[in-house]
Structure 1
């Protein structure tokens, strides 16, 4: 009786909630994949009691190493960021070309002896083991004596902690034994060789050890099993990007069942996570259902019924004294160049010195959302000074920015620029050099259609009549020359000269792209 009432309440709450860009929870006891239509790559998910925690890669963005929380594996909210500021490398401050495509890669999260432990390796640096009594932090870390690529933290039944590590250019899975407080490596031993394997995850179930590995060259996943961590291992092919994804593992449920989580490469939006039922056959975990094994279902009953719709925040009126958890800077920010206190109710971005969006510090980003989204920023441009270039747009492989440009004697104009990140550095095309505008209040808009792989920008002087500027621009994902992330939405303010003014952002609103709007 209570369960039925809870289901009815959840469905009514979901139906009453305002429209979202993407809603995995269908409000009828089912969900659709992906659970988050945004770039949350390299997932690792654990259960602690009735709570699930999901950690994701954030590269050079700050704050970094995002952890989300859910009660049902479908509806997620951001719980915390492990790293407030990235430390240990001047490039994290956007010096020496910055650290795009590097920074903090795949992390591994576990709960042990009343503490949360998280293993992560900043690229080119030694592995860190972060720890906190609470998922919200504060987090402190110990640094190991080596760099373990994509570390897989595993706590065995006897309490011994291990890190598994392998890299796709090889495939040798090495297990590092850790001391009792997880601060140092006491031994290292090769456990297995699986050609091309990386992104390891280790799970123990019913007397077996299960080793999950991504095979990046094939966009596929394998699962191996052994009675001992040290082998011998036997391996079977599992899912791939055609059937659901290629990096992830499984997590146990409160009722004793299991679910799988797996990352899928999805083009310009980035790498998203699918959730799948798991069934067991002949001692092996299989994604999906027995009538369609190793296929992640597009739609399925919710893993746990009764919980209402939830999602990470997106829109913001900047009334809080802290930035919302959805926001990340492109690198460590210069804290003297932004404020939520100088003008309460507004985000103030002071112009940083830079020659373009790619080198501009204090570019404030959040994840773009699919399949089709619209972002609108309400701006007060009174603080713009000569040479300032401040605006809204996309950020990634292609950064399309519609910006207010400060001119002499208080004049202001609009400029649309498209910057492509290439192997030779950023290349900028000025599509619309100058469109004069009057008044101080301005609305800027960015549309992104991930089905059509194109976007557009527009402006308004009254939030009613809109003018598109610069034509369509491409959306793309390129780990070699982009940010190694899906397209992001960005607010920025910079000036090639050292002195500049500021941009006041009154509000930011994210919504679905209205039906019928052309790509």
Structure 2
């Protein structure tokens, strides 16, 4: 099914202005292709407020945490905000005493009731938090519950009664927590259902029935259960799986009474992507797809709501604004004293943070790798690079491949190509190639990601036109036991060992489409 999700290179030059993303879901002819965003947007939850849709996605140890996107048609999405400006409760979030990769903020649940947005999320190993805000852009406040509810699924009745459904794959027992009116305290807890391997619960109501959706990671499948009471008894049916569309998600209603589904699919090296699907009903059971092709998420379908223009999350950036764009996230909590957009207007200045390796360095600035194949370039001014500084560009992931600019005691600058693989025993770094740089100040660095071949490549230039590859191909991969639990991310960094002198200035980041190495993998 993965091949069916890697769609045609023709999307690279769809009608209109040059895309910021590499992939265009909206085909401009009243149809769209899955995935709606060809990047790692896992653990989706989607709601409608009036005629606007909101989509929340997991961010793990990235900061700001929990990405919130907005759309008018369920196809064209832009990032509208993030939930948390920093992560709290562990020194590892500041990369002190270790790291928090594969921790942080996981699957969240978003709801809206009586003029207020509510978002339930559980930082790994910590107690569940119920955030609330009048505006989805914030500011957000939160209550902390007295327990850890894994992958909490928030549900609010029209009269304000609120509940959290929670289940863990290790058990499969689905527990319903009753909340007080302020969504600040658990007042009751009942085991309402059991599905072997269940997690990622989501609840909605349609007519006389409540519907409970659960992911089954051991089978990469999605189930739906229905009952006339939140407390059961429930009848369960299989829905779809990663061969037919995905394994974690639910439904969202349209203003005219139709329903659409959203579901996460493990999609290889790029990570976990979200697909959207029409849904129809048979005997009060939801069926993914269309009556002509039931039981699967279509590769291409009619847009659910026509008439809205193309829109997408930003990517390229000239760093001319007073704040970082919403497409950017830091790897763990940043040190605000070590970066600036104002010291040199129009440039991002990164001062080195203290670290012995890239994997444990603060203030690495990231954004999602884009598929099916993409090319990102940055322009650096390295004149202020000091001895001991290690600054550059590349990727962060299970395999982190980077071009790192250094300066020797003789004042000469050099470039190293390193690949760090995170293993169960810890990160392992290999220096593959080096190059001596002339005494010029400008340096261009390039990172290519091709998810049709699962290979990347790095290159550098001294004039922005003529490029030299360095270090050869490196692998692109995704795994949940090692790496960051995310697909490869573009990464701009500056760290040092034993020194805080020097800095590097970043003039711009530019993303563009890359012809895929294996067009036969796309259709």
Secondary structure class of the residue paired with 1:410: coil
Q: Report how far residue 158 of structure 1 moved.
A: 3.1
Q: Match for residue 391 of structure 1?
A: 392
Counterparts in 2 of 1:193-272, with a 5 A limit? 193-272=194-273
Q: Match for residue 304 of structure 1?
A: 305
Question: Is the 1:14–1:308 contact (alpha carbons within 8 Å) kept by the matching residues of 2?
Answer: no
Q: Match for residue 35 of structure 2?
A: 34
Task: Give the count of matched residue pairs.
Answer: 508
Is 1:17–2:17 an aligned residue pair?
Answer: yes
CA distance in 2, matches of 1:517, 1:360: 35
Q: Match for residue 9 of structure 1?
A: none
Q: Which range is displaced more, 491-500 or 243-252?
A: 491-500
Is 1:325–2:326 an aligned residue pair?
Answer: yes
Question: Is the 1:352–1:500 contact (alpha carbons within 8 Å) kept by the matching residues of 2?
Answer: no
Question: Is the 1:329–1:365 contact (alpha carbons within 8 Å) kept by the matching residues of 2?
Answer: yes
Q: Report how far residue 126 of structure 1 moved.
A: 0.4
Q: Report how far residue 15 of structure 1 moved.
A: 1.5
Q: Match for residue 177 of structure 1?
A: 178
CA distance in 2, matches of 1:16, 1:234: 48
Question: Is the 1:330–1:365 contact (alpha carbons within 8 Å) kept by the matching residues of 2?
Answer: yes
Q: Match for residue 431 of structure 2?
A: 430
CA distance in 1, matches of 2:500, 2:43: 40
Counterparts in 2 of 1:355-504, with a 5 A limit? 355-504=356-505
CA offsets, 1:194-220, max 9 Å, x none? 111000000100110000000000100
Question: Is the 1:14–1:309 contact (alpha carbons within 8 Å) kept by the matching residues of 2?
Answer: no
Secondary structure class of the residue paired with 1:91: helix
Question: Is the 2:224–2:237 contact (alpha carbons within 8 Å) kept by the matching residues of 1?
Answer: yes
Q: Match for residue 317 of structure 2?
A: 316
Instruction: Give 5+ residue unaligned stretches, structure 1.
Output: 1-12
CA distance in 2, matches of 1:155, 1:110: 7
Secondary structure class of the residue paired with 2:415: strand
Counterparts in 2 of 1:70-109, with a 5 A limit? 70-109=71-110
CA distance in 2, matches of 1:72, 1:499: 48
Question: Is the 1:327–1:366 contact (alpha carbons within 8 Å) kept by the matching residues of 2?
Answer: yes
Q: Report how far residue 499 of structure 1 moved.
A: 2.9
CA distance in 1, matches of 2:111, 2:463: 50
Q: Report how far residue 433 of structure 1 moved.
A: 3.5
Secondary structure class of the residue paired with 1:471: coil
- When the two chains are superposed, the root-mean-square deviation of aligned CA atoms in Å is 1.5
CA offsets, 1:181-239, max 9 Å, x none? 11110110111111110000001001100000000001000000001111111011110
Question: Is the 2:14–2:24 contact (alpha carbons within 8 Å) kept by the matching residues of 1?
Answer: no
Q: Which range is displaced more, 350-359 or 256-265?
A: 350-359
Q: Report how far residue 157 of structure 1 moved.
A: 3.4
Q: Match for residue 123 of structure 1?
A: 124
Q: Report how far residue 517 of structure 1 moved.
A: 10
Q: Match for residue 6 of structure 2?
A: none
Q: Which range is displaced more, 18-27 or 118-127?
A: 18-27
Q: Report how far residue 265 of structure 1 moved.
A: 0.4
TM-score, length basis structure 2: 0.95
Q: Report how far residue 14 of structure 1 moved.
A: 6.3
Q: Report how far residue 515 of structure 1 moved.
A: 6.2
Q: Report how far residue 414 of structure 1 moved.
A: 0.6
Q: Report how far residue 406 of structure 1 moved.
A: 1.4
Secondary structure class of the residue paired with 1:217: coil
Secondary structure class of the residue paired with 1:75: coil
Q: Report how far residue 498 of structure 1 moved.
A: 2.9
Secondary structure class of the residue paired with 1:358: helix
Q: Match for residue 66 of structure 1?
A: 67
Question: Is the 1:244–1:274 contact (alpha carbons within 8 Å) kept by the matching residues of 2?
Answer: yes
Question: Is the 2:453–2:518 contact (alpha carbons within 8 Å) kept by the matching residues of 1?
Answer: no
CA distance in 2, matches of 1:136, 1:177: 27
Q: Report how far residue 362 of structure 1 moved.
A: 0.4
Question: Is the 1:262–1:274 contact (alpha carbons within 8 Å) kept by the matching residues of 2?
Answer: yes
CA offsets, 1:461-484, max 9 Å, x none? 111110000000000001101100
Q: Match for residue 3 of structure 1?
A: none
Q: Match for residue 114 of structure 1?
A: 115
Instruction: Give 5+ residue unaligned stretches, structure 2.
Output: 1-12
CA distance in 2, matches of 1:90, 1:294: 46
CA distance in 2, matches of 1:208, 1:515: 46
Q: Report how far residue 346 of structure 1 moved.
A: 0.3
